[in-house]
Structure 1
């Protein structure tokens, strides 16, 4: 397995769980915030889904590329559709990266690292926020949550 395919497989094993968690939520949870000033549940999810695409574009371009503006979502179905769309786009972006792009040094947040290291950080970023989403889900009353990783 190549470094790139291992990254994509690992990332997808977490992204699948994101869809499972969101599938347990209801429309009234979309705007839930655990405290004033926090991201809403949908903002947290959209932050997660756009970030890996941003990291992939940054590696592809060799320079920081900000994420696209996120759509407004009002229902769980809209949120799931956005997750699925962004997942497909990001997976395609990741698959298109060359070995040279993965090896090139990119700058991000004042740090310099090979593209593959930035992508691994992007996966870690998503895992971090997925943990927060597990907490959000518990706070809105979801009792049965999926395992933290999906290997299927």
Structure 2
């Protein structure tokens, strides 16, 4: 079975629902300020990165507008972070209408990270980055004594 455009979106959506439950599990102070080791970032910073990548890639893929910037640096409350996540995903759903199966197969140099890759691969990278950071969020929650959400629940 080959993964189609709508199947990819559903995978992205299921993963985002789980990521948002991890965000919601954090107390606000720890979401923005806690890291279990000096070289690690607070989970909110990872979520901002996830949103920046999603926004940059979906606009580039759907509209051919390639612009990567930190659009969420000023966010400092849990409520604003969650609202921004919802807004970015709403934008993705709207722009998804512009994406075709053929668009996902286009291979070109990545304007942000360099190598040749397909648009599908870009979205896969974004998903893998989200999963990686969500896993860090699980560890952070456990070190805080907070039970993270069940991993297998995606709805």
Shorter-chain-normalised TM-score: which range?
Answer: 0.7 to 0.9
1:102 equivalent to 2:100? Answer no
**Stretch of structure 1 that moved more, 76-85 or 87-96:** 87-96
Q: How many residues align?
A: 151
- Structure 2 unaligned spans of 5+: none
- Whole-angstrom CA distance in 1 between matches of 2:108 and 2:65: 6
- Whole-angstrom CA distance in 2 between matches of 1:26 and 1:87: 23
TM-score, length of structure 2 as denominator length: 0.82
* Residues 76, 141 of structure 1: alpha-carbon distance in 2 compared, 3 angstrom cutoff: farther
8 A Cα contact 1:13 1:149, kept in partner: no
Instruction: Look up the match of 1:132.
Output: 136
TM-score, length of structure 1 as denominator length: 0.84
- Structure 1 unaligned spans of 5+: none
1:1-152 to 2 correspondences below 5 Å: 3-29=4-30, 30-61=32-63, 64-108=66-110, 109-143=113-147, 145-152=148-155
* Residues 6, 76 of structure 1: alpha-carbon distance in 2 compared, 3 angstrom cutoff: same
